[in-house]
């Protein structure tokens, strides 16, 4: 079985893209609080790339995988 690792480009976008609207407008996606991501989980993630990024960040935080972002943050 071929297991694919995390998409490096997607992880990079989590550390560079900012929230475009709402209470946390201009915050980096990786810095969004879990409570905000849980709210999207309940209400529905936005369509498109933003929704994919928010859902990915939710899964990362939910599963304690923030360490996956650390090498990218160290390069900033």
Please report, in angstroms and rounded to a whole number, the separation of the first and last CA atoms in the chain: 35
User: Over 60: is that where the pLDDT of 3 sits?
Assistant: no
Query: The dihedral of CA 53, 47, 38, 18: what is its sign?
Result: positive
Q: Which of the two residues, 7 and 64, has the higher pLDDT score? A: 64
Q: Is residue 15 part of a domain?
A: no
Q: 37-76 pLDDT, tens per residue? A: 999 999 999 999 999 999 999 999 999 999 999 988 988 6
Q: Is residue 48 part of a domain?
A: yes
pTM summary value:
0.88
User: Over 70: is that where the pLDDT of 7 sits?
Assistant: yes
Q: Is residue 55 part of a domain?
A: yes
Q: Is residue 39 part of a domain?
A: yes
Q: Is residue 9 part of a domain?
A: no
Query: Of 59, 75, 64, which Cα lies nearest the Cα of 15?
Result: 75
Torsion on CA atoms 37, 42, 46, 48, rounded to nearest 10: 90
- Counting the structural domains of the chain, the total is 1
Q: Is residue 14 part of a domain?
A: no
Q: Is residue 56 part of a domain?
A: yes
Domain holding 39, by residue range, is 29-76
């Amino acid at each position: 079985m071929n297991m694919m690792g995390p998409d490096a480009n997607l992880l990079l976008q989590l550390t560079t893209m900012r929230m475009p609207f709402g209470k946390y407008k201009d915050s980096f996606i990786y810095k969004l609080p879990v409570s905000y991501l849980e709210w999207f989980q309940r209400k529905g993630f936005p369509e498109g790339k933003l929704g994919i990024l928010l859902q990915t960040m939710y899964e990362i935080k939910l599963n304690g995988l923030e360490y996956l972002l650390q090498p990218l943050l160290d390069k900033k």
